[in-house]
Amino acid sequence: MNKSLGIALLVVGGLILGALIFGAGFMVGNSSYGATNFSPFNLAGVGRNFASQGFSMMGNGQNMMGGSGMMGGSYNNMMGGYINGSTANTTPLTIDQARQAVESYLKGLNNSDLELKEIMIFNNHAYARITEKSTGIGAMELLVDPTSLSVFPEYGPNMMWNLKYGHMSGYGMMGGSSGMMGGRGMMGGYNNNPVSVSADMTVTSEQALQAAQQYLDQEYPGYTTAEDADPFYGYYTIDILKDGQETGMLSVNGFSGQVFVHTWHGTFIEMYE
């Protein structure tokens, strides 16, 4: 065997060995995925991933990214959020701080039909439900970062199931208050005239509540839904209770009945309506 061939074989062998070591590490890492201890609606780590909850784009059964969690599992870091929900050194927002931030955000949208309907303070961030004045139908769900006070669209159903104001509608929801690619909204500005979409859904609010409760009974016995299912364009969002107290929320697709738990909020603190 000549010297050149020997060197080539050594290089190839090294590459193969490196690939095997990397693959073994990847498999070990995946085997512990979702092993973080957490309560169902107070997620400290990645825990329960999007795909396992039946998350799909527009309810068509096609999981986003096709993997074991949106964007590789670090979905809390999207658009100003937190990596793995880490807020150990963050002081929760007050109602007034969250309200001022959201109202400023809405003013920037230049849509007089939108109004703030509800704020929920969690230790990870503040949540805001925005409705249309003219219809009372939910328009969008927003989150407020407690450190920067930046406002950005909530993850999950608010983006992928919202037929009128969500990412898939072309309303430009991806950018948040600071904007993506340097502008307000994805690739530039907002479309201030969202497409005309019917609020009618094949799944009724009663059916959505029933589907949500069945899911909770199976996955998290002892947790119950609130009495009302808040309608949005394409889905419902429902508060989750434990012993009559707020703990979090979930959404139900208005056409497929899929249930999607909002796992990013953290511990509930207080509410403003």
Q: Mind listing the pLDDT tens digit for each residue in 126-176?
A: 999 999 999 999 999 999 999 999 999 999 999 999 999 987 665 554 444
5-43 pLDDT, tens per residue? 555 555 556 555 555 544 444 343 333 322 222 345 554
Torsions phi, psi for 184 (to 5 deg): -85, 110
The single-letter DSSP state of residue 58 is G
Q: What is the pLDDT of residue 100?
A: 98
Mean pLDDT lowest among 71-85, 117-131, 154-168, 204-218: 71-85
**Cβ count within 10 A of residue 43:** 22
Question: Is the pLDDT assigned to residue 108 strictly greater than 60?
Answer: yes
Q: Which residues make Cβ contacts (< 8 Å) with residue 191, sequence separation at least 6? A: 170, 171, 172, 185
> CA-CA distances (angstroms) from residue 89 to 123, 124, 146, 147?
10, 10, 11, 10
Residue 58 has pLDDT above 90, yes or no: no
CA distance 45 to 84: 5
Query: Which DSSP category does 39 fall into?
Result: B
What's the whole-model pTM score? 0.67
The span from the CA of 34 to the CA of 265, in Å, is: 17
pLDDT number for residue 227: 97
Residue 153 backbone phi and psi in degrees, to 5: -65, 140
pLDDT of res. 6: 58
pLDDT at 128: 98
Q: What is the pLDDT of residue 90?
A: 83
What is the phi/psi pair of residue 32, to 5°? -100, 0
CB 199 within 8 A of CB 233: yes
Strand order in the sheet with 126-132: 151-153, 138-144, 126-132, 114-122, 268-272
Q: Indicate the SS3 state at residue 78.
A: helix
Q: Given this model, what pLDDT does residue 174 score?
A: 42
